[in-house]
Amino acid sequence: MDTFEDEAGARLAARIRLEREGRGWSLADLAARSGVGKATISKIERGDASPTAGVLVRLAAAFDLTLAGLLVRAEAGADRLIRASDQAIWRDPDTGYLRRQVFLRPDHPLEIVEVTMPPGKSALLPAASYAFVRQVVWLAEGELVVSDPDGRHVLAAGDCLGFGPPADVTISNESDAPARYVVALTRS
């Protein structure tokens, strides 16, 4: 992991602790609300463990935030112009997928995220990750499979899929090349 990712991880750990303490919650309170173990939360807050996307989604949902909302709170500033070099980047330690927060401001209803999913990898998005948002996935490059209760949706470059009612969703790259996709979401 490079220095930029190390610094972003430290800011994220501090933000999780701040969100928890700001609500007057103990580690046990956050564990009960998120379904993430107390020991895991403690390790994350101390910077001893890097959380997976699934864990971050559950923590964010416990705070009534989207994953993007939690990540942007960990970063400073809310400028209208967000240069590529200033966009928050996070890498999932389990899958290696790279998530770039392209646009998110507290005063704007739209969030835009770019994700690069490595070949042969997948990520589970629990229903809680979009219980209070509407989102679409637009595949820019590669191939992607989105599995939800309605079935298995195979996307090719240029395809777009709107998410239905909150349910567990798995996003997979079953190909041998990276898949790059954009997620656009608004609060519902």
Residues 12-58: tens digit of each pLDDT: 888 899 889 888 999 999 999 999 999 999 999 999 998 988 899 99
Question: 148-176: per-residue pLDDT in tens?
Answer: 999 999 999 999 999 888 899 999 999 99
* Sequence-distant (≥ 6) Cβ neighbours of residue 136 within 8 angstroms: 160, 161, 162, 163, 183, 184, 185
Beta bridge mates, 114: 100, 182
Asked whether residue 3 carries a pLDDT value surpassing 50, the answer given is: no
Mean pLDDT of all residues belonging to the chain:
88
Q: Strands of 143-148's sheet, edge to edge?
A: 122-125, 169-172, 143-148, 151-156
> Which residue is it, tokens 């608004």?
186
Q: From residue 14, give the alpha-carbon distance in Å to each of 85, 102, 161.
A: 22, 22, 34
Answer whether 0.75 is exceeded by the pTM: no
- Per the model's pLDDT, the better-predicted residue between 142 and 78 turns out to be 142
Q: What is the CATH number assigned to the segment(s) 84-187? A: 2.60.120.10
Domain positions in the chain are 3-74, 84-187
Give CATH superfamily name and number for 3-74. lambda repressor-like DNA-binding domains (1.10.260.40)
